[in-house]
């Protein structure tokens, strides 16, 4: 009887299985996840906005277009260019520019003080530009042509509003007279912004207006090619052997531990290794992209080996058994079935390793690639730098105009990285197989 009452009353109270608590826990967990992603996104947005805000102006450049007269008296006073065209290299092109400015701005070209102030409107690189123009075409002597000349770095910064003009004149790089001239040129439509192609094609320069990423981009590209050509085959071969052929014993365990350790070694150590092996022992040249590529290859190998081994392990054993069961040799099984299936993982590992290598400066410091290199490298044995190195070097410059260039260079490096990662995604799509 009492039993009957009990059984009748029990169904009314549901057994507590902690449903509410579990739902609450799940909601909390989702919130944590959302918070983690939000924090990540906020930092990414902060980084990107600060880089873009500071750097977007680096992609335009102030240019001053002037009618320039290559008068014979300044360019070739002895009139010997017919016999020796090289004499034109010694012309007084700074005076050519000064006279053009004097005519445009209306001051006396013989007035030294105004002349000096006016000289500082135009980049010193412009003289070289004019000289090269005349050397390439000696018939220009005596003619007047319109030329667009780079404005000096400080003038460029002032034109972009990056120099505080409210402070007293004595404490400014750009003087009042120069500001008046800038306004005068601007009103005449002679001073305007143009796309900064120099940023992409010029080599390093001590003048911000003429400094570019050309040599650094070539250096980085060459190094990435070397890293790809060496570390991918070596890494894949090593991991296939370790994963599929090598006996499992103490020795292979030791190798595995060592590879995992190497992946965590600070990159500067690879620089030391590169210096003593490639430069000092093998006698390779300093500052050369080939040495940088080899050092970065060593640095990237463990990453690729670890990623490849993991993706080889992830291929289901049934695939291997099926291939072997149908009479394939072990090598056929690996190259026809296992490796193609593991390829997306291998490529992801390779691209992550490459992207990592692209951003390294520390190992390059010791082999002499943190350097001022103005000439384009012709072979991989010639001196060059790398993109992150150029960013680092520009970040330490004193001139105001280098601040925006630093951020501009960071944007270029980011575009490089985005392209590489995009490539990885596309390759993965192409190789992706499901079972």
Partner 1 sequence: MNFIRFSAAALVASVAFAGAAHARDQIQIAGSSTVLPYAKIVAEAFGEANSQFKTPVVESGGTGAGLKEFCKGVGPDTIDIANASRKIKDDELKACKDAGVTAISEIKIGYDGIVFATDASNKDFVLTDKDLYLALAAQVVVDGKLVDNTAKKWSDVNKDLPDEDIMAFVPGEKHGTREVFEQKVMDAGCKAAGAADVIKGLISDAKEAAAACHKLRKDRMAVDIDGDYTETLARIAANKTAVGVFGLSFYENNTDKLKVSTVNGVTPSVETIASGEYPVSRPLFFYVKNAHLGVIPGLKEYVEFFTSDDMIGPEGPLAEYGLVPAPDAEREQIRSDASAGKTL
Residue ranges in 146-205 that form contacts with partner 1 under rule CB under 8 A: 163-164, 167, 171-173, 203-205
Q: Does 230 bind partner 1 (CB under 8 A)?
A: yes
Chosen residue from 97, 226, 238, 307 binding partner 1 by CB under 8 A: 226
Distance of CA 2 to the CA centre of its chain: 83
- Those residues with Cβ within 8 angstroms of residue 62's Cβ, 6 or more apart along the chain or in another chain: 150, 151, 155, 156, 159, 160, 191, 192, 193, 194, 209
Q: Which is nearer to partner 1, 14 or 171 (CB)?
A: 171
CA-CA distances (angstroms) from residue 96 to 137, 179, 236, 419? 16, 22, 61, 45
Cα–Cα nearest to 93, from 66, 60, 109, 70: 70
- Those residues with Cβ within 8 angstroms of residue 264's Cβ, 6 or more apart along the chain or in another chain: none
Q: Which is nearer to partner 1, 102 or 362 (CB)?
A: 362
Minimum Å distance from CB 310 to partner 1? 21
Which residues are bridge partners to 317 per DSSP? none
Q: How far apart are CA 275 and CA 271, in angstroms?
A: 6
Q: Does 286 bind partner 1 (CB under 8 A)?
A: yes
Q: Does 114 bind partner 1 (CB under 8 A)?
A: no
Q: Which is nearer to partner 1, 329 or 375 (CB)?
A: 375
Element (H, E) at 151: none
Q: Beta strand 144-150 with 191-195: parallel, antiparallel or unpaired?
A: unpaired
The answer to whether residues 420 and 358 touch, using CB atoms and an 8 Å cutoff, is: yes
Q: Which is nearer to partner 1, 207 or 356 (CB)?
A: 207
Site string for partner 1, 6-45 (x = CB under 8 A): ----------------------------------------
Minimum Å distance from CB 396 to partner 1? 4
State the helix-helix crossing angle for 267-274 and 289-313, rounded to 10 degrees. Answer: 130
Q: Which is nearer to partner 1, 63 or 382 (CB)?
A: 382
Burial 17-36 (b: 16+ CB within 10 A, else e): eeeeeeeeeeeeeeeeeeee
Q: Does 237 bind partner 1 (CB under 8 A)?
A: yes
Chosen residue from 69, 159, 239, 287 binding partner 1 by CB under 8 A: 287
Q: Does 399 bind partner 1 (CB under 8 A)?
A: yes
Q: How far apart are CA 428 and CA 407, in angstroms?
A: 31
Minimum Å distance from CB 434 to partner 1? 25
Cα–Cα nearest to 112, from 129, 128, 94: 94
Residue ranges in 369-388 that form contacts with partner 1 under rule CB under 8 A: 370-375, 381-383
Q: Does 128 bind partner 1 (CB under 8 A)?
A: yes
Q: Does 289 bind partner 1 (CB under 8 A)?
A: no
Residue ranges binding partner 1 (CB under 8 A): 89, 124, 128, 163-164, 167, 171-173, 203-207, 226, 229-230, 232-234, 237, 278-280, 282-287, 290, 294, 335, 365, 368, 370-375, 381-383, 393, 395-400
């Amino acid at each position: 009887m009492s039993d009957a009452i009990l059984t009748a009353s029990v169904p009314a109270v549901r057994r507590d299985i902690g449903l509410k608590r579990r739902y609450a826990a799940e909601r909390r967990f989702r919130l944590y996840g959302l918070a983690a992603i939000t924090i990540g996104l906020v930092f990414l947005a902060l980084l990107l906005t600060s880089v873009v805000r500071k750097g977007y102006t680096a992609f335009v450049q102030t240019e001053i277009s002037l009618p320039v007269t290559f008068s014979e008296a300044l360019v070739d006073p002895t009139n010997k260019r017919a016999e020796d065209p090289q004499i034109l290299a010694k012309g007084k092109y700074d005076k050519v520019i000064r006279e053009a400015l004097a005519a445009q701005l209306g001051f006396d070209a013989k007035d030294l003080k105004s002349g000096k102030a006016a000289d500082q409107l135009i980049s010193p690189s412009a003289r070289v530009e004019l000289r090269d123009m005349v050397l390439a075409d000696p018939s220009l002597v005596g003619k007047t042509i319109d030329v667009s000349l780079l404005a000096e770095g400080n003038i460029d910064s002032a034109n972009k509003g990056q120099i505080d003009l409210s402070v007293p004149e004595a404490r400014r790089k750009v003087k009042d007279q120069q500001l008046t001239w800038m306004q005068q040129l601007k009103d005449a439509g002679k001073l305007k912004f143009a796309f900064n192609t120099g940023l992409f094609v010029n080599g390093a320069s001590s003048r911000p207006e003429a400094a570019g990423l050309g040599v650094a981009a070539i250096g980085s590209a060459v190094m990435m090619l070397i890293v790809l050509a060496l570390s991918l085959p070596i890494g894949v071969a090593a991991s296939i052997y370790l994963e599929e052929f090598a006996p499992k014993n103490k020795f292979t365990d030791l190798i595995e531990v060592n590879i995992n350790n190497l992946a965590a070694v600070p990159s500067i150590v690879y620089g030391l290794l590169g210096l003593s092996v490639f430069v000092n022992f093998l006698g390779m040249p300093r500052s050369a992209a080939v040495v940088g590529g080899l050092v970065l290859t060593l640095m990237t190998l463990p990453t690729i080996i670890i990623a490849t081994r993991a993706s080889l392990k992830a291929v289901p054993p049934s695939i291997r058994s099926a291939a072997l069961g149908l009479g394939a040799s072990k090598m056929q099984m690996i190259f026809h079935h296992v490796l193609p299936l593991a390829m997306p993982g291998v490529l992801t590992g390779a691209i992550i390793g490459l992207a990592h290598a692209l951003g390294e400066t520390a190992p390059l410091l010791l082999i002499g690639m943190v350097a001022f290199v103005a000439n384009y490298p012709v072979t991989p044995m010639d001196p060059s730098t790398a993109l992150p190195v150029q960013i680092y070097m520009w970040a330490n410059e004193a001139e105001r105009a280098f601040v925006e260039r630093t951020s501009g260079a960071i944007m270029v490096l980011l575009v490089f990285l985005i392209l590489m990662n995009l490539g990885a995604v596309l390759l993965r799509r192409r190789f992706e197989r499901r079972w």
